[in-house]
Structure 1
Amino acid sequence: MTSGATANGPGLGDCGVRISRVSKTYRTRSGTVEAIRNIDLDVNEGEFVALVGPSGCGKSTLLHIVAGLVDMSTGDVDVYGAPARAGRHDVGIMLQRAVLLPWRSVLANVLMPAQIQNSDAAKSRERAYELLEMMGIAAFADKHVWELSGGMRQRASLAQALVTDPAILLMDEPFSAVDEFTRERLNVEVARMHAARGRTTLFVTHNIQEAVFLADRVVVMRPRPGEIEEIVPIDLPRPRTAETLELEQTARLVTEIRRLIGKYV
């Protein structure tokens, strides 16, 4: 395990995301709030890194800084060698709740990022159908999103994030609003896609078992101001399947990470 300082990935490839001495302080009417402090983290190309920690430790703030949605107060973030900024074509983002427009069909919602980027229409449509098929909701392509269950909406949202085939995927508690059984199925789907594509992924979650199941490394953060408490390598074999959740090794890792977080809750 690696504690505190800059943590390098397991040698999966060149650095995809480099976070260097990043801090964020919010100014409010009652004063200032230091959300995160001096975060150093490298996410290697093809690596899946999960962020966990108590509520308010700055996990989502850090992810939003990498996405270019929030400005950092100090530090640097490089995404494939260029400064982080919003609207990059090589970054896909999936937030806690599906960002789907109720007046558009499922297919039209999935296609939105490709249309914004002026991608080839025919190829994008083919890719969207491929993803919907992969998610098991191709039969609902022409339905409106309000006709879908919560789990189906999250599948559509994941397809939307992937339709432009981004090199980096940023996910902020994407499955927190669905039931446990749906969450497990979606986790298996994400693990399967990661095994097939090896996309560089930064994933925020409160669910320790989810983090262990999906990640190559789990970054445990301590409470505000958020700092890295420890980084836990996940040495579970890939591909990950539902049976992975039953391994003694999985339980051991979950227990270790829960112990680290439990010092602060």
Structure 2
Amino acid sequence: MGGVGCRQGQQTQVAASHKGGNIQVPWVRGWKSLWSGVGTMRSGLEEFWELQGHQCLHQETLEKPLSEWPVPQFIDLFLPEFPIRPIRGQQQLKILGLVAKGSFGTVLKVLDCAQKAVFAVKVVSKIKVLQKDTLRQCKEEVSIQRQINHPFVHSLGDTWQGKRHLFIMCSYCSTDLYSLWSAVGCFPEVSVRLFAAELVLVLCYLHDLGIIHRDVKMENVLVDERGHLKLTDFGLSRYLPQGTRAYTICGTLQYMGEREANTGG
């Protein structure tokens, strides 16, 4: 989930010209050009945010009815990873707060009033996905998370699409490793050993599946109520067959060496 850390650096992704870089699909470029001229518009998310107050809001508040949607292709592009969910009368989501806002989306803390459970929902603008030519990346993020089952990975709950936004719902963790470190100042050695062991275990698990995360940082490592790590934000992750390599420079600028950030070396 791109941009879910509490202290966000600027994320960057620059496709190199080498073989193996991002694939520029013609029909994606066509949609990118079509929507590049669309100005700022009032989104369902903005209305959802303004109306939050102290009330539970039906999912209908997020988007207008499907009959008012502009073009079927704007739905089909994001299928099947982002299905269209029928409006269920009992399903209500109440915004409890803003978790983070990054270049790839906004993360909200929400209460599912029907389940009486708290979740984190990442909201991504469809137009931005097409303008930045990250449709393949966005769908692969969901595909990867659906196939991961590990105690130290932030679990994926549900995904769906609305008129203008994509929604990715996950379990909620109250803090991340960076915020915890900032609060306590210094971790005891026994905690560092535990954190390191859990992080190595989950990275080895991902690499055995041919998955590279590509944005491992303290902000993307959540801490659950029992003190265990949960690796999150698979927005830059991808499958990589054994023996191959990726040629895309990506990650968070503040965590890159100066030479790497400037030249990709």
**TM (normalized to structure 1)?**
0.27
Structure with max Cα Rg:
2
**TM (normalized to structure 2)?**
0.27
